[in-house]
Amino acid sequence: MSDVYRALDDSTRRLILDELAARDGRTLFDLCSLLTTRHGLGLTRQAISQHLAVLEEAGLVVTEKRGRSKFHYFDPTPLSEITRRWPTTGRTTP
């Protein structure tokens, strides 16, 4: 679970997840373009690829290769593990 927290600790990785949550199945080229145009980030393809590798290692992103293209998909399963660990239902507020 520490990989999930480390992955979410970076604002660029959170933006990548936001873009994948909005529409899955994006390529590295798609994500680079979106991060530049929508968010004003001027990162290299290699930098974004490294961010994607961290997200994939944490289980938040899964990939599928089709031909020469690699598509990235958001997997919220690790986030649900966090909510199972610290449930918010049934809590009393002070």
Helices 45-57 and 28-37: crossing angle in degrees, nearest 10, is 110
In angstroms, the CA 25 to CA 93 distance is: 40
Which CATH number do you get for residue 13?
1.10.10.10
Query: pLDDT of 49-88, one tens digit each?
Result: 999 999 999 999 999 999 999 999 999 999 988 888 877 7
Residue 78 lies in a domain: yes
41 touches 92 (CB < 8 A): no
Task: Mark out the alpha helices in 1-94 (DSSP H runs).
Answer: 2-8, 11-22, 28-37, 45-57, 77-85
Query: What range does the domain containing 64 cover?
Result: 2-85
Query: Is 58 inside a domain boundary?
Result: yes
Catalogue the long-range contacts made by 45-49 (C-beta closer than 8 Å, 24 or more residues apart): 48/12, 48/16
pLDDT, position 94 = 66
Per the structure, how many domains does the chain have? 1
pLDDT at 84: 81
pTM (predicted TM-score):
0.86
pLDDT at 82: 82
Q: Is the pLDDT of residue 22 over 80?
A: yes
